[in-house]
């Protein structure tokens, strides 16, 4: 876990994001499209039944996590993979770097992996002289832009095609175009050469199957399959809660994950990789390493936030969140944005660092309603807010204001007086109050809710 004590400046980041009209337009278009496509894709499913089954299965795995991790390791080794356990980010980075250095590899292709972002793998490999080439188109775009992902499924969601065209012309020296087909063709030509010359590929995993020791990848571009089958060396890095008991459990997630993520009925490429290449097989890595990252999860799954680790990283909660939809992922200043990101950041990086992120939720419940495995995000967010107050990390002014508001709303007479005072003093508050804070507050309504509907 990262125990940095520097707090994430979410409010400052959010104010900056709200003034970026291009960002807000790209976010609005993308998230609205995903919401419509998701609604269409799940319409024909027995959705609630599938959600309940998937939730129970994920919880069962978490309740028996140690046993499943041991079983996965045993069967992966039996299938020919070399399995490494990493207690934290530093250990995982060191293991991966050592494997590459032992093979004399200075350049590696990589498919999309949020766990590799969690352990800051690219920066570390760069420091030890190993170049990482991202091959997912979205990851490739943000890599050459020098940015991090702003969505766990669609890392370049914050950019429109004109921005990508300008970026490609500037960084790759190609002629400007905002035609997605042309831009994809430019990236494809460059990445094809990287795949063919790569000596090693790094991937994450959507799931790991305990009964067979397999890892499972969902991708839409085929780059994950290229990274894991063309180079002679493949390193997969995944967090331990990704395990499912058997291949028979996989169809539930094949139906739920793509629909929840991008509104697709099925992902374009589904790969199940079991060990290294066997004699007589024509594809697959000749040497496969699997790095199982703990990073505090063994301890956390025994506590009150256990259900967070049911998450299958589909991003549905991000697309549904009214805060994420307007500020984008970079405002969160952490690896994981959106509702699931707030909870994970607080758990993995500490409350001192994540305390401001707890303002990035309206507690409207939309995130919990769309979660395909029923992670109780609104409840977990509320628990973390309570913890923030208990630890004295909420500003004193805010604590006093909320306590005063609580006492006022308990008594209708006082509440009514407050409404009158709000109207009387609002012009003065607007004129003399702190600009940013008052500017964000709505003007008191002229007629109360009770007056309008009496």
Q: What is the pLDDT of residue 203?
A: 98
Q: What is the pLDDT of residue 433?
A: 67
Three-state SS annotation for 284-352: CCCEEEEEEECCCHHHHCCCCCHHHHHCCCCCHHHHHCCCHHHHCCHHHCCCCCHHHHHHHHHHHHCHH
Q: How far apart are CA 323 and CA 229, in angstroms?
A: 39
Instruction: Give the three-class secondary structure for 390.
Output: helix
Contacts of 197 (CB under 8 A, 6+ apart): 107
- Which backbone phi and psi does 94 adopt, to 5 degrees? -65, -40
Q: How far apart are CA 208 and CA 67, in angstroms?
A: 14
| pLDDT by position in tens, the chain (length 454) | 544 568 999 999 999 999 999 999 999 999 999 999 999 999 989 999 999 999 999 999 999 999 999 999 999 999 999 999 999 999 999 999 999 999 999 999 999 999 999 999 999 999 999 999 999 999 999 999 999 999 999 999 999 999 999 999 999 999 999 999 999 999 999 999 999 999 999 999 999 999 999 999 999 999 999 999 999 999 999 999 999 999 999 999 999 999 999 999 999 999 999 999 999 988 899 999 999 999 999 999 999 999 999 999 999 999 999 999 999 999 999 999 999 999 999 999 999 999 999 999 999 999 999 999 999 999 999 999 999 999 999 888 888 888 888 898 899 888 888 888 888 888 877 777 666 666 667 778 878 777 887 7
* Tokens matching residue 288: 């496969």
Handedness of CA 141, 334, 25, 37 (dihedral sign): positive
For tokens 């199957």, the residue is 209
Q: What is the value of pTM for the model shown?
A: 0.90
Phi-psi region of 448 (alpha: psi -120 to 50; beta: other; left: phi over 0): beta
Q: What is the pLDDT of residue 187?
A: 96
DSSP 100-128: HHHTT--EEEE---HHHHHTTHHHHHHHT
Angle 396-409/412-432 helices, nearest 10 degrees?
Answer: 140
Q: How far apart are CA 291 and CA 303, in angstroms?
A: 24
Q: Is 297 exposed, middle or buried (0-12, 13-18, 19+ CB in 10 A)?
A: buried
Torsion of CA 389, 362, 256, 48, to 10 degrees: 90
Q: What is the pLDDT of residue 6?
A: 85
10: nearest Cα among 349, 354, 341: 354
In DSSP terms, which residues pair with 233 in a beta bridge? 200, 287
DSSP 446: S
The residue count for the chain? 454
């Amino acid at each position: 876990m990262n125990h940095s004590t520097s707090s994430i400046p979410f409010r400052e980041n959010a104010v900056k994001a709200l003034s970026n009209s291009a960002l807000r337009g790209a976010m609005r278009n993308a998230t609205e499209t995903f919401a419509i496509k998701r609604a269409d894709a799940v319409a024909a499913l027995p959705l609630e039944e599938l959600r309940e089954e998937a939730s129970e299965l994920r919880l069962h795995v978490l309740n028996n996590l140690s046993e499943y991790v041991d079983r996965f390791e045993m069967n992966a080794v039996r299938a020919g993979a070399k399995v490494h356990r990493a207690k934290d980010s530093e250990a995982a980075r060191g293991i991966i770097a050592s494997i590459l250095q032992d093979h004399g590899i200075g350049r590696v292709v990589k498919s999309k992996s949020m766990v590799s972002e969690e352990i800051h793998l690219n920066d570390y490999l760069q420091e030890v002289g190993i170049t990482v080439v991202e091959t997912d188109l979205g990851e490739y775009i943000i890599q050459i832009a020098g940015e991090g992902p702003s969505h766990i499924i669609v890392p370049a969601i914050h950019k429109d095609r004109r921005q990508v065209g300008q970026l490609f012309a500037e960084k790759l020296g190609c002629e400007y175009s905002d035609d997605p087909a042309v831009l994809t063709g430019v990236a494809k030509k460059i990445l094809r050469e990287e795949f063919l010359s790569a000596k090693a590929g790094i991937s994450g995993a959507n799931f790991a199957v305990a009964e067979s020791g397999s890892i499972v990848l969902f991708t839409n571009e085929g780059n994950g399959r290229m990274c894991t089958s063309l180079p002679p060396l493949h390193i997969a890095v995944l967090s331990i809660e990704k395990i499912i008991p058997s291949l028979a459990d996989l169809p539930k997630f094949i139906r739920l994950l793509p629909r929840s993520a991008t509104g697709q009925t099925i992902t374009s490429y589904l790969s199940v990789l079991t060990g290294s290449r066997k004699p007589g097989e024509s594809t697959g890595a000749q040497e496969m390493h699997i790095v199982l990252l703990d990073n505090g999860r063994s301890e956390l799954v025994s506590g009150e936030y256990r259900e967070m680790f049911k998450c299958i990283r589909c991003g549905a909660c991000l697309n549904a969140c009214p805060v994420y939809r307007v500020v984008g992922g970079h405002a969160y200043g952490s690896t994981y944005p959106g509702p699931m990101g707030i909870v994970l950041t607080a758990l993995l990086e500490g409350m001192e660092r994540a305390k401001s992120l707890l303002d990035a939720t309206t507690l409207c419940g939309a995130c919990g309603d769309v979660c395909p495995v029923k992670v109780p995000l609104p409840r977990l967010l509320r628990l973390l807010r309570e913890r923030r107050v208990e630890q004295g990390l909420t500003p004193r002014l805010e604590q006093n204001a909320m306590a005063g508001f609580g006492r006022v709303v308990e008594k209708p007479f006082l509440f009514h007086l407050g409404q009158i005072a709000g109207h009387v003093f609002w012009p003065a508050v607007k004129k003399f109050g702190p600009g940013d804070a008052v500017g964000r507050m709505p003007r008191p309504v002229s007629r109360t809710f009770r007056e309008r509907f009496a």
